[in-house]
Structure formats: C-alpha cells, structure tokens
A = this chain, B = another copy of it.
Amino acid sequence: MVTDRPVGRRPGDPETTRQAILAAARTQFGERGFDRATIRAIAADADVDPALVIYHFRTKRELFVAAHELPVDPGAILAAIAAMPPATYGEQITSMYLGRFAAPGSPTFSLLRAAATNEDAAAMVRGFIHTTLLEHGTPLITGPDPQLRLELVASHLIGIVVAREILGLPELRERPLQDIVAVVAPVIQRYLQGD
C-alpha cells in the first residue's frame, strides 16, 4: 500500500529519481540550451529537490553529458542504408538524419542547440557526425574529395534543422518533413555521387 506523502517527495527509488531527472534535463537543455537551463528548473520539472540533482550527477556539466549519451549503433545504421540500392542513399540519409535531428525533443537536437555556445556539446555533435557519417560513410560515396562531400552532406542537413527549428524560416517550418526531403534528397544524392 502506498503511504501518503508530501508532494515532491519520491523516497526510496534512486533509479526512478535518476530517470526523472534525466528526462527533465533533456527537456530543459533542449528548450533552453546549456546556459539558460538551470538545475533548479530541471529539479522542479522532475519534481525533485535541486540538491538531489547534484547528489546524483555531481555537476551541471556531468548531468548534461549523462542526459545526452546516445544509444546509437553507428555501424548498424549505415549498414542498413548500404544494403539498399545506391540510388536511394540520398533519400535515406536525408530522411533519417532530418528525422533524428529535427525532432525538437530529441537528445541530438538538444546537443545541436547547446553546441552553439558550449564546446563540450560541440565535441559531442562532432563525435556523433564522425562516427555515424564520416567514419563509416565512405562506402556510400564515390568520386573525389569524399570526406569534404560527406561533411557538406552533414552541413546541409544541419543547416535545414537550424533554419527550420531555430531560425524559423517560414516555408521550412510549415512544410511537412516529406516535402523537404523530396526536394533535398536529390541534392544529397548528387554530393554522394561526386557531381
């Protein structure tokens, strides 16, 4: 039987507390970026005492890192893409990365926003792009300067997310993602094929 207890208390289950804090942290960091997200607000969101946040994660920085550890298997993603016909690489990469980065609640998007003013976050995004695209992406690409063109692929997709979710350019914001993918995919495909 559940004993009644004051609102805001969550005694007994550290793992539940940890998870609640992590979820709240992702929301706050995602919406406000690293600097403007406060431990106090995260704690309030998680219905937990601010001191508990520090107790579990030691510092704001470590909380940020913990909240953004990505359960991604980079090999698996690109292996799935490589299994399809090369003519579809552009469309697959476009819809996959836009879908992942452009979801405003996702850790990846949160990281991207934070990266603007936070070298830790920038390094994490760089790592993510490196392991998921640059390192294992060469099989997808033909022609000269493959690394440069892979980075341009990443650039374009990131730019679309920034323009849509952060700058709020009107057409990009209003259109469903599929419309955008339809126009962009051939361009990405072109980068992959080396002109």
Contacts and interface: CB of A to CB of B under 8 A. Distances in A.
A69 interface: no
Given A113-B116, A148-B172, A175-B148, A167 B35 contact: no
Interface size, A (range): 35 or more
Contacts of A82: none
Interface in A17-50: 32-33, 35-36
A122 B168 contact: yes
Q: How many copies does the complex hold?
A: 2
A167 B129 contact: yes
Interface of A: 32-33, 35-36, 113-117, 122, 125-126, 129, 134, 145, 147-149, 151-152, 154-160, 162-164, 166-172, 175, 179-180, 183-184, 186-187, 190-191, 195
